[in-house]
Structure 1
Amino acid sequence: MRYSNYINGQWKEPASTNYSANINPHNGEILGEFPLSSREDAREAAAAAKAAFPAWKKLSFQQRAAYLQKAAAILKSRTEEVGRDLTLEEGKTLAEGIGETMRAISILEYYAGEARQPLGDVIPSANAQTFLYTTRVPVGPVGLITPWNFPIAIPVWKMAPALIYGNTVVIKPADSTPKSVYHVVNALHEAGIPAGVVNCVFGRGSIVGAEWVENPDIKAISFTGSNSVGCQIQERATARGKKVQLEMGGKNPLIVLADADVNKAVEIAIKGAFSSTGQKCTATSRVIVEARIYDEFRDMLIERTKALKVGNPLEKETFMGPCVSKAQRDTVWSMIEAGKKEANLLCGGNLLQDEETAQGYYIQPAIFDSVSRDARIAREEIFGPVIALFKVNSYEEAVELANDTEFGLSAAICTNNFTLVQRFVEDIESGIVHVNSETAGAEPQVPFGGCKNSSSGSREQGKTAIEFYTQVKTVYLDPM
């Protein structure tokens, strides 16, 4: 089946005649074909968003919220179908695919609820006759460039706040997972959202995304993806006066102190590192263990990792599916090969070529120890199921090692020492902190984002999303 772009309220064939196959990473099956759109398509979408903006921003918050609620109800009625399609195109397990779909529904419902929240402040004026207050106004048409690893949740956590605060949207989904965004846009279409308010253009970021970064009709860009692309977008977009929001890489540490429950800590490490095939910006990448329990932790981690079921993500007993694409699998494989030269491979790290997995992009979860802090696997984001193990002698050494990275997205600690928990919250250089839980995971009602090279601009999700999608207007109101 061939799919079309969604521009100005209609599913429309692209100006280009080129299409890209949507591939099932489990077996190479073609799931459909999506447009490789041109700059002409991207410009048309931007123009539609610009034309729809004045009427959309004049609607009340409750009127805009009604469309989000209807779209959420439509997706809820199709949770199993959408979750299965997500699994088929991305490779995460069916439970994860359905769970992510439910998360997207929750995000739509959350931002529909924001329609009844306060918008500004009343501030005492030096002049007794002046009524002084602030309100917020939408930025305008915004461009959203979204990744493949959370192909429905991340697009929705960008679209929902953008829409509720009165902006119109153009969105470019990731090339390898387009159908998940198709489902979201189709739900909004069926909900009756006015023409031009939401526009979706499939294709390459170097073409579609580049057009929106340069196009004067687009007033802000929100991007989730690699640091190299994000920095290019920031440089080009800010030079044109646009607001920019970037969510990029992570090299997330899990610290396990000697007083921790080793059994629980191992489960936390495995879930954080290997769920979704490690393809999360918040995935656990470095596990830093206090020396007194290091051997016990390492041996248990190896034993349980070897027992994980890697295979068809649609099967209930599967823990880990394939990488999203051959290119991603090969990238992870190359990092594992580099790791073999600079550290000790304890288990895994092989390509899977049995009867079930031979046609897919499978790789075994890998664990390394004797890792130098200067090793590539210790410093670079791998975005795959790889753990680098480190042994330390104290809390202070653990935190110093955890902070020795250019990234600062998420971090976790396992301990029963509440005094050290309080210190950890202060000491760790990350935007998200977990205590006795995995580094991955984020609820929609709280801010999401990191520090250092992990993020740039205001936080996503929660009430803080308003900072990016609106501008403050200060009003001095005096009587005649």
Structure 2
Amino acid sequence: MDRILNYIDGAFVPPLAGQYLDNHEPRTGAVYGQLPDSTAADVDRAVAAAKAAFPAWQALKRQERAQYLYKIADAIEKKLDLFAKAESRDQGKPIHLARSMDIPRAVENFRFFAGAILHQQEKAFQTSPEVLNYTRREPMGVAGLISPWNLPLYLLTWKIAPALAAGNTAVAKPSELTPATAFLLAEVLDEVGLPKGVCNLVFGLGEKAGDALVAHPDVPLISFTGGTETAAVIGRRAAPLYKKISFELGGKNPALIFADCDLDAALATTVRSSFLNQGEICLCTSRLFVEESLLPKFTELFVERVRQLKVGDPESQDSFMGPLVSAEHQDKVAGFVQRARTQGHRVLCGGERVTPQKSLEKGYYFAPTVISTDDASPEIMQQEVFGPVVTITPFRDYADAVCKANSTRYGLAATIWTRNLERAHHAAADIKAGQIWVNTWMLRDLRVPFGGMKDSGIGREGGDYSLEFYTEEKNICLQLGRNQL
């Protein structure tokens, strides 16, 4: 049985209390490994190591820090298949998806921020011939980084890379559901010779290890990706200590599909945006609003395509969806669908657990589900399911579409399907979401700020925004003699 260890101060160490958690494989439901059930004592040890490493790491030239990040990227890329198999086994996504999306994007995170820190510019303003004002960015110290289970390596590295590039050291707490790729990353950090204590990984539960990291007085900044309710708890813990925080939280992302859209493109992309990675992506589309005149045709064609999606063994090349991440999450998704049925909403397809083959009967598989409802207010339209469940609802006109799209507490992302450029621009402005796509989905540029509005988050990630989050800005006013200018 595989046993994962914490990575603290450049060494692989067991949890101080000697306790471990079982790690289940979503594919079969079987226990295949263990990870540390770390406590505050383990977090204290990791923070102390990161704090001790900070002065020397901060003092390195940007080019020197960048070179470490480039080495990490190269090492992950060389082990792409190993990482992809580990992520598939841990999280349930098809191996081909991990190989083509998750792991390459993790590699790109390190390369992008290695380059970004070299080209970051500071602001300077000459107030008068004798006075110069300029802004200096300085790293803050130990960054506390808490990442989720759905894109475990990609989102973890999206935190680690800018933190290290900016000159901070880090203590990361990966999700206890998907520790394998984080452990492989620790091996890479060790392999490339990253200085001891610069990046530490502590595994365990959020209520133990995560809480200790958030509350630690020597951790001045917290970056968290996960559920909105958990973020509220973190915020209450961090606020009295005046920590800098960034939250990338849940979404209930709408797609507005107007009658003049490119129907083939809208269908193909919306099937993908609704069910990729079992719907376990914060950016997945979960609410489809379709113009009334197009609704019957769109619904028929959409449901037909969804029924053709293969839910199967994540090791198979032709599986579009694998299992959900855990038995508990499968029960959660099933509960949402059952309550929707009870409330009178129509399940057009899916809505049930499935068994792809006899050997996988204990895995956590769920059929892609489409629910029809005319009402934008019920639970299935308001709460984040975070699974392969999408609703279809008609809208009368532009105002009705925007009103329904904005009718939740969330504001992470939205997609607009129309050939009318003027309408697209107006809708992009009127929809309250941090990321808007027009006639596409999931095209990302790391230079563009990313994050949610309303209850979908605080702060932005991407490019200078990420680097700014991990630094403290200091404005300096300098009085000079004219002959010195």
Amino acid across the alignment from 1:124? Q
Alignment correspondent of 2:379: 376
Alignment correspondent of 2:420: 417
Distance (Å, rounded) in 2 between the aligned partners of 1:272 and 1:306? 15
Distance (Å, rounded) in 2 between the aligned partners of 1:466 and 1:329? 37
Cα drift, residue 191 of structure 1: 1.3
Amino acid across the alignment from 2:333? V
Alignment correspondent of 2:469: 468
Alignment correspondent of 1:363: 366
Alignment correspondent of 2:157: 156
Tell me the matched-pair count.
477
Distance (Å, rounded) in 2 between the aligned partners of 1:235 and 1:125? 41
Alignment correspondent of 1:349: 351
Distance (Å, rounded) in 2 between the aligned partners of 1:198 and 1:118? 22
The secondary structure found in structure 2 opposite 1:275 is helix
Amino acid across the alignment from 1:36? D
Alignment correspondent of 1:14: 15
Q: Is the 8 A contact 2:117 2:467 kept in 1?
A: no
Distance (Å, rounded) in 2 between the aligned partners of 1:136 and 1:336? 49
Q: Is the 8 A contact 1:119 1:135 kept in 2?
A: no
Which of the numbers 124, 127, 142 marks the counterpart of 2:126? 124
Percent sequence identity over matched residues? 36
Q: Is the 8 A contact 1:289 1:389 kept in 2?
A: yes
The secondary structure found in structure 2 opposite 1:26 is coil
Distance (Å, rounded) in 2 between the aligned partners of 1:50 and 1:157? 21
Cα drift, residue 95 of structure 1: 2.0
Alignment correspondent of 2:254: 253
Distance (Å, rounded) in 2 between the aligned partners of 1:410 and 1:184? 29
The one-character-per-residue Cα deviations of 1:380-405 (angstroms, maximum 9, x if unpaired) are 00000011110112122111110111
Q: Is the 8 A contact 1:50 1:217 kept in 2?
A: yes
The secondary structure found in structure 2 opposite 1:378 is helix
Q: Is the 8 A contact 2:120 2:464 kept in 1?
A: no
Cα drift, residue 479 of structure 1: 4.8
Distance (Å, rounded) in 1 between the aligned partners of 2:461 and 2:404? 27
- What does 1:32-43 align with in structure 2 at a 5 Å threshold? 32-43=33-44
Cα drift, residue 132 of structure 1: 2.6
Distance (Å, rounded) in 1 between the aligned partners of 2:389 and 2:418? 23
The one-character-per-residue Cα deviations of 1:223-273 (angstroms, maximum 9, x if unpaired) are 111111101101210211111111111000001100112222111221111
The structure-2 alpha-carbon separation of the partners of 1:267 and 1:356, relative to structure 1 and needing over 3 Å to count, comes to: farther
Alignment correspondent of 1:53: 54
Q: Is the 8 A contact 1:344 1:371 kept in 2?
A: no
Distance (Å, rounded) in 2 between the aligned partners of 1:197 and 1:6? 11
Alignment correspondent of 2:222: 221
The one-character-per-residue Cα deviations of 1:347-371 (angstroms, maximum 9, x if unpaired) are 1111113525312000101111124
Amino acid across the alignment from 2:412? L
Q: Is the 8 A contact 1:4 1:14 kept in 2?
A: yes
Distance (Å, rounded) in 1 between the aligned partners of 2:95 and 2:401? 36
The secondary structure found in structure 1 opposite 2:385 is coil
Distance (Å, rounded) in 2 between the aligned partners of 1:150 and 1:316? 19
Distance (Å, rounded) in 2 between the aligned partners of 1:189 and 1:476? 42
| Structure 1 unaligned residues grouped into runs of 5+ | none
- What does 1:175-194 align with in structure 2 at a 5 Å threshold? 175-194=176-195
Worse-superposed segment, 458-467 or 242-251: 458-467
Distance (Å, rounded) in 2 between the aligned partners of 1:185 and 1:130? 48
The one-character-per-residue Cα deviations of 1:168-198 (angstroms, maximum 9, x if unpaired) are 0000000110011112222122111111110
Cα drift, residue 13 of structure 1: 1.2
The secondary structure found in structure 2 opposite 1:295 is helix
The secondary structure found in structure 2 opposite 1:137 is strand
Cα drift, residue 442 of structure 1: 3.3
Cα drift, residue 33 of structure 1: 1.4
Distance (Å, rounded) in 2 between the aligned partners of 1:433 and 1:185? 35
Amino acid across the alignment from 2:358? E
In the superposition, the TM-score normalised over structure 1's length comes to 0.97
- What does 1:7-406 align with in structure 2 at a 5 Å threshold? 7-98=8-99, 99-126=101-128, 128-342=129-343, 343-353=345-355, 354-406=357-409
Is structure 2 residue 426 aligned with structure 1 residue 426? no
The secondary structure found in structure 2 opposite 1:258 is coil
Q: Is the 8 A contact 2:39 2:212 kept in 1?
A: no
Distance (Å, rounded) in 2 between the aligned partners of 1:356 and 1:391? 41
Q: Is the 8 A contact 2:146 2:173 kept in 1?
A: yes
Cα drift, residue 437 of structure 1: 1.4
Amino acid across the alignment from 2:348? L
Q: Is the 8 A contact 2:416 2:437 kept in 1?
A: yes
Worse-superposed segment, 350-359 or 210-219: 350-359
Q: Is the 8 A contact 1:310 1:321 kept in 2?
A: yes
Distance (Å, rounded) in 2 between the aligned partners of 1:236 and 1:187? 32
The secondary structure found in structure 2 opposite 1:34 is strand
Q: Is the 8 A contact 2:130 2:480 kept in 1?
A: yes
Q: Is the 8 A contact 1:371 1:378 kept in 2?
A: no
Distance (Å, rounded) in 2 between the aligned partners of 1:237 and 1:414? 40
Q: Is the 8 A contact 2:374 2:394 kept in 1?
A: no
Cα drift, residue 441 of structure 1: 5.3
Q: Is the 8 A contact 1:312 1:356 kept in 2?
A: no
Distance (Å, rounded) in 1 between the aligned partners of 2:315 and 2:444? 24
